Structure 1
Amino acid sequence: MTELLKISGLDVDFDTRRGTVHAARGVSLTVRPGEVLGLVGESGAGKSTIGNAIVDLLESPGRVSAGSILFEGEELRGRSEAEMRRVRGDRIGMIFQDPQTSLNPLMTVGAQLVETIEKTNGKISGAEAENRAIELLEQVGITEAKARLLAYPHQFSGGMRQRVVIALALAGDPDLIIADEPTTALDVSIQAQILDLIKQLCRERALGVIIVTHDIGVIANIADRVAVMYRGEVVETGDVAQILGAPTHEYTKSLIAAVPRADRKLDRFSSVDYIEGGTTPFKRIDIQTHWLGESQRERGSGPAIEIENLDLSFTLQKALLKRNRKMLQAVDDVSFTVNEGETFGLVGESGSGKSTVARLIAGLYRPDGGQIRVIGQDVVSHPKSATARTARRALQMIFQDPYSSLNARMRVLDIVAEPIRFYRLTDRESETRKIVGDLLDHVGLGASAALRYPHEFSGGQRQRISIARALASRPRILICDEPTSALDVSVQATILNLLKDLQQELGLTMLFISHDLPVVRQMCDRIAVMRNGGICEVSDTETLFSAPTHEYSRHLLDLMPRMDLLGEA
């Protein structure tokens, strides 16, 4: 079959004050019409760099220093910006990772589509371009397409915004699409829809597709062939069954081993220790004498969290008359109990109410109705009472995004020390510094990290800082809201193992929120499945995965990316 794209010996360099960074070295790849090539590897492996180099969108000071990029037999290297503008969109389409930033928030979806169609198809304009925009929206599965043309990006869900981005990529009727992490942070249902759509378009249009991702499950479900990248080089390439079923390179083997299993529960996640860098092993302590052990010594026998008939509505449209207001029932009559020392999972699609329930428990939202008891204390009726304050101190939260949840202007010392100072756990600054250093040691960063700023750390290291901050108030309960969804699979494994170690050592109770069902199976003792603000089913983990009783639970499990190609390794 004729090659649509052929990359040979590609080198990409970034010249910096500290010398030249070799982002890609000797990369050779091919893509055929109607084929999906998966480009997989950790953050910093060079995957996105290759995609950007193909369409000459490398950020300064990046440059292609060697090699060839042949597209439909024509060399793309050395072309002028004007010539590359005719290639981008018209012949090669791009689907970017974050649809929120890919779309102009000040323009309607229709205006953005029409503009793209007119620029990539010089002979189409006006009403004809608008009709073509409607066709594209219908093709990517957006209903009421004509009316949706007048909507703005913020009026679409994450999955629908990604569909719009795909429609934009198809506007010029390209022969090749480069999809850069198109399903990152999407829940399992939306991810399945987006992957099915890309596969369908690939078949119907004989498109060549390069899908850049760190998600092995995505590769297993969509790719025909796979190229594995590590530190700027392609270390292994071949058919998806061969690469995922019988990898030959040690890095590929360790990467696949780190993928959370959905078919059975294991004691620990397999980690790729040399990937994250800059961390030390988990440091165990004597729980009887260490100050962190105080939370375990306070541990009681009753439930850690009790939720009864919890309700919360958000106002979508204000009006003087109540009947004219538009409301969203975010949480609808939710009840469950989390026992001391267990990990209780909340799963469901985006918008199901998982994170809203977590924020209600943490006191970030106030419920419209219902009861919340934390370690036996009512934290709703009298939220500012001394007992409620004590209960709140016993509960801390680890947020989803380790980049936005840390103050970039504060040193790590002050970030981790903030709960200690707020709750006045010690009056001596020297002791505060010692505790912070001890916490950073405990989560594997080392005490020297206290003097640095968040931007000096990787995503996984930042999440370790978040965990150290959560531990600083000596909590008995951790709420983990999608704590690893923004992390690579190997870094995810190290963070989840750290949480397991901490729970075992300190007797912590965890409320674990995620849309990643294999991760939930490995982490949780019991699980509640949420949909449209309510709970469909509460069950112990193994029963839920082997014999779910609710139809929606079965639906979610059916949508999990299948890793059958991985065998029993």
Structure 2
Amino acid sequence: MSILEIRGLTVEFPGRKDTFVAARDINLSIEPGKILGVVGESGAGKSTVGNAVIGLLEHPGRLGAGEIFVHGERIDNLPAKRMRELRGKRIGMIFQDPLTSLDPLQTVEFQLVETMLEHLPISKGEAKQRAIDLLDQVGIPNPAERVKQYPHQFSGGMRQRVVIALALCAEPEVVIADEPTTALDVSIQAQILNLMKKLCAEKNVAMLVITHDMGVIAEITDHVAVMYRGNLVEYGESQQILGSPQHEYTKSLIAAVPRPDVRVHRFPQVDYIEGSAKPFKQIDIATHWLGQSRDYTPVDGALLSVDQIDMKFMTRNAWLPKNRQFFQALKKVSFDIKPGETFGLVGESGSGKSTVARVITGLYHPSAGTVTFAGQELTSLHDRRQVLAMRRQMQMIFQDPYSSLNARMRVKDIVAEPIKFHKLASTNSECFRIVDDLLDHVGLGSAAGKKYPHEFSGGQRQRISIARALATRPRFLICDEPTSALDVSIQAQILNLLKDLQDELGLTMLFISHDLAVIRQMCNRTGVMRFGELLEVQETEALFESPQADYTKELLGLMPSMDMLSRDNLEEEVA
């Protein structure tokens, strides 16, 4: 018998002129000890279904039709008081962002104990002991000490473990996990996924996992439901859906997944998804604006050399130097990048990847060591004109395109800003002609310049960031986790665009990511970082086939298995 059963669920959001249907006639069920994965792009309706089950639809959302049952009891028509009693007790929820789903002003112990006293017939002393036991069960070391700490004192992966403990503390029958591993490192993701599988097997809990990560789906689910624009387009056992998909949308999603086992020249086009197959507009680089004034001095050997870089951050200031305390973020990091090459940096959060990027761009000044770019030592530059000339040649694409774009500026002004700053156009009209051309070149069209960043999807905003980065005609791009927050199909578009631009403009790139599959597809050589140290640098294919450092072997072993994914449309793309 199914623990959770959803019959004909339709969720509506009424507006002033019409009603938006976010989920339409959804039928799903989960048996005890089983995991059902709901997959699809942002806006497909995945989270809407999860929120409807637990009764947390945002106003003015409502159930237009359908029924929801837990152990045969209908719950969608319960009064608010009864629903609050059921929420937490019978249905637990693991939210996407653990930091915002925990109270920053209360200790972990307080939050766990409060939930247990609300739903379980136990004393406060028993609840405190059970809180320690729960933290131990979810793999948090020294649980008796850490239970007294606040959420900000935990890492991202540890906070997610706390959220799992919170979801399980009242012994629910159903757990809904909404993007539980998004943006987590591969090692932390593997720990969380193993924990979820173990809990389902040991506690006989039914779990609904909402995600756009096909690796997560392949790793832990028993059944898969594929959603597209509020509709359930395919539903069945994981092996059948992932190995032999029937619906064109499912085939498109699987084709777009970066494969860790083989390198492809380009990601297959996902033609079913609207707007995903925009052709790359080739240009004549000899006459196009992007090719003009790129008379940078040729270099023999490496374009960028990082030599013995140390970086320390002061964690405690004091009048006496001996009383000051420092955190060593980088330790003797050295590597070089050749012209036209894509060099990858991979490692867990806190390994120092983004710190390296900030040292290269001059945002951080290293404690020791040198950075040399195109024959010029950057760490010794003090003349503003020289600094700006070097910065014009290197640009950065950030992880979150929304926070890196000024929300109060129109897109045309955002892209025009570096052109005006570096005086690359003689008139305003020439500047905006260049902007229109850049927006068209990255697949947005010149009409996009009249809009604001909030009017675009995540993938479109990242295209705006790329257009802005190209506006100075750089020779070197730093891509800091540029696709980690994007859906798999949108990620494929952005990665294809970066490859096309590199081939066309001869760009050199530093590509930072914790996604090993993306690193394999994008990078010629790769360095592996841990705790501020560069453990090894190899040709990317050699790194994946024969890693030298034990930590690299461990990382590669933790990648979700993609063996069951269909390989249709992939073979022709293999480089």
TM-score computed with the length of structure 1 as normaliser: 0.97
Q: Deviations over 1:539-562 (max 9, x none)?
A: 001100111111111111111111
Decide which of 220, 228, 231 is 1:222's aligned counterpart.
220
In the TM superposition, what are the counterparts of 1:300-449 in structure 2 within 5 Å? 300-302=298-300, 303-449=302-448
| Partner of residue 30, structure 2 | 31
Q: Match of 2:439, as an amino acid?
A: L
Q: 1:120 to 1:383 in 2, by over 3 A?
A: farther
Q: Contact 2:276–2:490 at 8 Å: present in 1 too?
A: no
User: Offset of 1:151 from its aligned partner?
Assistant: 1.4
Contact (CA 8 Å) 2:34, 2:206: kept in 1 or not?
A: yes
Matched, 1:185 2:190: no
Which residue in 2 is equivalent to 1:136?
134
> Which residue is 2:497 aligned to?
498
Instruction: Give the 3 Å change call, closer, same or farther, for CA 18–295 of structure 1 in structure 2.
Output: farther
Task: Tell me: CA distance 1:322–1:90, structure 2 relative to 1, closer, same or farther (3 Å).
Answer: farther
Letter in 2 for 1:107: Q
Deviations 1:42-99 (A, max 9, x none): 1111000000000110001111110110111111121111111011111100000011
Equivalent in 241, 250, 256 of residue 258 of structure 1: 256
Q: Which amino acid aligns with 1:154?
A: H
Report the CA distance between 1:108 and its aligned residue: 1.6
Output the CA distance in 1 between the equivalents of 2:144 and 2:382: 48
Partner amino acid, structure 2, of 1:407: N
Aligned to 2:519: 520
Does the CA-based 8 Å contact 1:175-1:207 persist in structure 2? yes
SS in 1 for 2:510: strand
AA in 1 matched with 2:241:
I
2:411–2:453: 8 Å Cα contact kept in structure 1? yes
Structure 2: distance between partners of 1:45 and 1:384:
52
| Partner Cα distance (2:324, 2:189) in 1 | 33
SS of equivalent residue, structure 2 residue 359: helix
Question: Which of the numbers 124, 127, 138 marks the counterpart of 2:125?
Answer: 127
> What is residue 2 of structure 2 aligned with on the other side?
3
Shift of 1:160: 0.4
1:113-171 deviation line (CA, Å, top 9, x unaligned): 222222222x3343222111111111111111121122111111100010011011011
Most deviating of 388-397 and 187-196: 388-397
Residues 75/295 of structure 1: CA separation in 2 closer, same or farther (3 Å cut): farther
Q: 1:316–1:421: structure 2 CA closer, same or farther, 3 Å change rule?
A: same
Whether contact under 8 Å (2:442, 2:497) holds in the other structure is: yes
Which deviates the most, 295-304 or 143-152?
A: 295-304
2:275 corresponding residue in structure 1: 277
Q: Equivalent of 1:290, from 263, 277, 288?
A: 288
Structure 1 distance, partners of 2:297, 2:203, is 61
- Equivalent residue for 1:200? 198
Cα separation, 2, equivalents of 1:66 and 1:441: 43
Cα distance in 2 between the residues matched to 1:371 and 1:38? 48
- Shift in Å, 1:280: 4.4
Amino acid in the other structure paired with 2:67 = S
For structure 2, the residue ranges without an aligned partner over 5 or more in a row are 569-575
Instruction: Find the aligned partners of 1:252 and 1:501 in 2 and give their Cα distance.
Output: 26
TM-score under structure 2 normalisation? Answer: 0.96
Contact 2:269–2:276 at 8 Å: present in 1 too?
A: no
Contact persistence 2:459–2:486 (CA under 8 A): yes
Tell me which amino acid in the other structure corresponds to 2:441. Answer: H
| TM-aligned CA deviation for residue 282 of structure 1 | 2.0
Which stretch of structure 1 is more off in the superposition, 294-303 or 174-183?
Answer: 294-303
Residue 69 (structure 1) aligned with residue 68 (structure 2): yes
Question: In structure 2, what is the Cα distance between the partners aligned to 1:248 and 1:296?
Answer: 49
Q: Check conservation: 1:276, 1:460, Cα contact below 8 A.
A: no
Q: For residue 169 of structure 1, what is the aligned residue in structure 2? A: 167
Task: Name the SS for the 1:275 alignment partner.
Answer: coil
For residue 565 of structure 1, give the secondary structure of its aligned residue in structure 2. Answer: coil
- Aligned equivalents of 1:130, 1:241: Cα separation in 2: 42
Contact 2:11 2:63 in 1 (8 A): yes
Structure 2 CA distance for aligned equivalents of residues 299 and 518 of structure 1: 34
Secondary structure of the residue aligned to 1:133 is helix
Query: Shift of the alpha carbon at 1:112?
Result: 1.5
For 1:408 and 1:165, how far apart are their aligned partners in 2?
A: 32
Aligned to 1:246: 244
Query: Which residue is equivalent to 2:50?
Result: 51
Distance in 1 of aligned mates of 2:363 and 2:193: 35
Would you say the 8 A contact 2:25–2:66 is kept in 1?
A: yes
Please list the CA deviations of residues 172-229 of structure 1 after superposition, one character each: whole Å capped at 9, or x if unmatched. 1101100000000001000000000101111110010000000000010000111111
Aligned length: 567
Q: Kindly indicate whether the alpha-carbon contact (under 8 Å) linking 2:254 and 2:566 is maintained by their aligned counterparts in 1.
A: no
Q: Could you give the per-residue CA deviations for residues 327-347 of structure 1, whole angstroms, max 9, x where no partner exists? A: 221111000001111000000
Change (3 A) 1:142 1:64: same
Report deviation, 1:436: 0.7
Which of 372-381 and 498-507 deviates more?
372-381
1:270-329 CA-to-partner distances (Å, cap 9, x unmatched) read 232453639843221110011211365436233221100101112223344444443221
Instruction: Give the Cα–Cα distance (whole angstroms) in 2 for the partners of residues 274 and 235 of structure 1.
Output: 13
Helix, strand or coil: the match of 2:331? strand
Structure 1: gaps (5+ residues): none
> 2:138 corresponds to which letter in structure 1?
V
1:440 CA drift (Å): 0.2
Q: Distance in 1 between matches of 2:168 and 2:314?
A: 36
* Whole-angstrom distance in 2 between the partners of 1:160 and 1:550: 25
C-alpha displacement at 1:238, in angstroms?
Answer: 1.1
For 1:98, the equivalent position in structure 2 comes to: 97
Q: State the SS of the aligned residue for 1:199.
A: helix
Asked whether the 8 Å contact 1:279–1:444 carries over to 2, the reply is no
Say which is worse superposed, 279-288 or 176-185, in terms of deviation.
279-288
Do the aligned residues in 1 keep the contact of 2:249 with 2:272 (CA within 8 Å)? no
* Distance in 2 of aligned mates of 1:458 and 1:275: 14
